[in-house]
Amino acid sequence: MTDSRHAELTDLAGLYLVGALTPGERQEFEAHLETCAVCQGEIGSMRPAVDALLLAVPSRVPPIDLRRRVLRDVADLPSAADSEPQKPRPTGLAWIPLAASLLAALALGLYAWQLRSRVQNLETRLALAMEQAASAQREILGLRQAALEARSTLAVLAAPDLARIELAGQPAAPQARARAFWSRSRGLVLTASNLPPPPPGRVYQLWVVTADRPISAGLLEPNASGDVTATIQTPADLPTPVAMAVTLEPAGGVPLPTGERYLLGTPATNL
C-alpha cells in the first residue's frame, strides 16, 4: 500500500535511517512506513550502506542522539561565550563538527543515491517505451505495406480485362501449382504453392513468355510451406503472353532463363 503522503515523506528515508529526524517527523514517517511497501523497500535497500557508513563514524558517536546533541551544543555556544567564560566546555565535544559534517554528507549521499536510482528507473522505463513505440511504428509500416499490396492485388483481380493462366508443376517439382491473373491495364498476380525450398544461392524467377522472347517478371520468395503470392507491375506495351514459367536461377536473377523449369502454363484462351 502506498498512501497519499508517500511523495511527501519518501525523501525522509535517508534522514530516518541516520536518526536525523525530529521526534515529530520520525513519528510521522514511521506511521507512513508501516503502510508503504515502497518506503519499506527503500529503507531495506539503504540500510546496509548506512550501517557501513555509521561504522566509519567513531564508535563513541551515538547516531540516534546526534542531532539533539548537535543542536544543544549550538544553542549552548553563545551563552558560553557571553556570560560564563570560565565554564569548562563539556568533554568529548571535539567530535561534534566532524560528526555533524559526516552526518550531513551521509544524508546528502543517501539523497543523491535515492535520486540516482529513481533516475535510472525512469531511464529504463523511457528506453522501454521508446522501444515499444519503434516496434509499433515498424508494425504500422508493415501493415501499410501489406495493405498497399492487397490493394494492388485486388485491383488486378477486379480488372475488366483479366486473363487467367494455370501453371502446372514440371518434372523438377510435380506437386507445385500456380495460377496467374494478368490484366494489360493493371498488372499481374501470381499465386503458387508447393514449391520446394530453393537450394542455397538459387532463386525462383517468373517469366512472361511472349512470341518474341521470355521477359523477366521478377523473383519469387516462397514461404516455408512453399507458398508465394506476388503482385507485379507489367508495362502497358507488354506483348501478349503466350506462356508463363517459373525457373530456378542464380541468386539475383538473370536476364534470360538458364535454369530448370519448375512451373509452366499457357493461356486457356487467346489473350
| Residues of the shown chain interacting with Zn ion in the complex, contacts defined by CB under 5 A | 6, 10, 36, 38-39
Alpha-helix residue ranges (DSSP H) falling in the chain: 6-9, 13-17, 23-35, 37-56, 63-82, 95-157
User: Alpha-carbon distance 218 to 140, whole Å?
Assistant: 26
Query: What residues does 169 pair with on adjacent strands?
Result: 263
**Min CB(85)–Zn ion separation in Å:** 49
Q: Which is nearer to Zn ion, 10 or 231 (CB)?
A: 10
Contact 24, 67 (CB under 8 A): no
**All 3 cell numbers of residue 205?**
524467377
**Min CB(145)–Zn ion separation in Å:** 49
**Min CB(30)–Zn ion separation in Å:** 11
Which residues lie below 8 Å from residue 27, measured CB to CB, with a gap of 6+?
Answer: none
Q: Which is nearer to Zn ion, 40 or 240 (CB)?
A: 40
Q: Which is nearer to Zn ion, 11 or 166 (CB)?
A: 11
* Triad 98, 103, 108: Cα angle to 5°: 130
User: Alpha-carbon distance 29 to 189, whole Å?
Assistant: 72
**Min CB(54)–Zn ion separation in Å:** 23
Q: Which is nearer to Zn ion, 107 or 242 (CB)?
A: 107
**Min CB(138)–Zn ion separation in Å:** 39
Contact 170, 259 (CB under 8 A): no
Q: Which is nearer to Zn ion, 3 or 149 (CB)?
A: 3
CA distances to 169, 209, 214, 235, 247 from 256, rounded to whole Å, are 20, 11, 7, 18, 10
Q: Which is nearer to Zn ion, 13 or 66 (CB)?
A: 13
**Min CB(52)–Zn ion separation in Å:** 24
